């Protein structure tokens, strides 16, 4: 039995590893090769040009605009999403009182979780179409219709370069809060109630209990959420393509690297340059993930 164990295990491991190498690692390696060519995707002719595509990337004004937009997304989307989700999860799971005045969730908390989670069941394209109607620049839009009733002139939420990216950020935050609310709720359910009771005996209020008990014990959940959201906004494409004016406009105000890859490959048919942009995006994502894990790796401590 002991000698037959390893062939049995390897028999299950080898097929998925082979599939991963062929369908994940293989395309990555292929993109590295294509990034050093001038291939236009329309013929089998490929000419190696070295690092010329990468030199062009760093001289491209739209690349730097996309990078600045990514920086704004990285600073705002994870911060607002996780903060709101943590607040709502704490209110729904800990801020209430159960029988005997013990720590408990609010009445109807399950219903609220379902409502907050609802955007997760909608596809990103559907969300984009819905918020096109919400952000319409005339009084036919939901927001401008409400503003019109208050005597305020219509606002170009998606056509004003100063508002367009913030409008899309609001949709990103709204659509992700429900998922992290459920994630943090599951983490809070695993925290022993005795810790909250000890904090209450020591006179800790709700805010102090949150920062000294709940948040330290949810550190791993927050770290995972931050990395996941960071990678998500670095690779965000569909929602921005649907909502933005002229695919990343106005005037590049909402463009991201994914949008530049799309335009280079399927509008300009320059697959070599598109692959170079993809390779740069790959290293940016990997660097972000490693730096985030390095600086958020702390042991959990509880101190009243």
pTM of the predicted model over 0.85: no
Helix (H, G, I), strand (E, B) or coil at 94: coil
Q: Per-residue pLDDT for 298 more than 60?
A: no
Tokens of 88: 């709502």
Long-range contact pairs involving 221-224 (C-beta distance under 8 Å, separation at least 24): 221/183, 221/184, 221/187, 222/82, 222/86, 222/296, 223/292, 223/293, 223/296, 223/297
Q: Per-residue pLDDT for 90 more than 90?
A: no
pLDDT per residue as tens digits for the range 144-193: 888 888 888 888 888 888 888 999 999 999 988 888 988 888 888 787 77
Among 292, 253, 97, smallest CA distance to 161 is for 253
Low-confidence winner among 18-22, 109-113, 155-159, 255-259 (lowest mean pLDDT):
109-113
Low-confidence winner among 11-25, 116-130, 194-208, 271-285 (lowest mean pLDDT):
194-208
All domains of the chain in start order, with CATH: 54-295 (1.10.3720.10)
């Amino acid at each position: 039995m002991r000698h037959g164990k390893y062939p049995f295990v390897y028999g299950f491991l080898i097929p998925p590893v082979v599939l991963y190498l062929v369908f994940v690692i293989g395309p990555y390696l292929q993109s590295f090769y294509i990034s050093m060519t001038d291939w236009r995707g329309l013929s089998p002719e490929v000419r190696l040009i070295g690092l010329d595509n990468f030199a062009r990337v760093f001289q491209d004004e739209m690349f730097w605009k996309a990078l600045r937009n990514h920086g704004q997304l990285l600073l705002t989307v994870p911060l607002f999403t996780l903060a709101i989700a943590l607040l709502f999860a704490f209110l729904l799971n800990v801020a209430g009182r159960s029988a005997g005045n013990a720590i408990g969730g609010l009445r109807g908390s399950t219903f609220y979780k379902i409502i907050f989670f609802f955007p997760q069941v909608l596809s990103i394209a559907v969300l984009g179409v819905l918020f096109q109607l919400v952000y319409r620049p005339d009084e036919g839009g939901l927001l401008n219709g409400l503003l019109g009733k208050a005597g305020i002139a219509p606002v170009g939420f998606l056509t004003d370069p100063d508002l367009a990216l913030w409008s899309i950020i609001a949709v990103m935050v709204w659509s992700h809060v429900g998922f992290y609310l459920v994630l943090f709720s599951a983490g809070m359910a695993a925290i022993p109630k005795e810790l909250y009771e000890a904090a209450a005996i020591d006179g800790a209020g709700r805010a102090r209990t949150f920062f000294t008990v709940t948040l330290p014990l949810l550190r791993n959940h927050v770290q995972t959420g931050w990395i996941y959201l960071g990678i998500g906004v670095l690779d965000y494409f569909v929602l921005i393509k649907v909502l933005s004016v002229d695919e990343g406009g106005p005037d590049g105000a909402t463009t991201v690297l994914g949008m530049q890859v799309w335009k280079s490959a399927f509008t300009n048919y320059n697959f070599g340059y598109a692959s170079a942009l993809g390779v740069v995006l790959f290293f940016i994502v990997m660097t972000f993930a490693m730096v985030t894990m390095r600086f958020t790796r702390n042991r959990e401590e509880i101190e009243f």
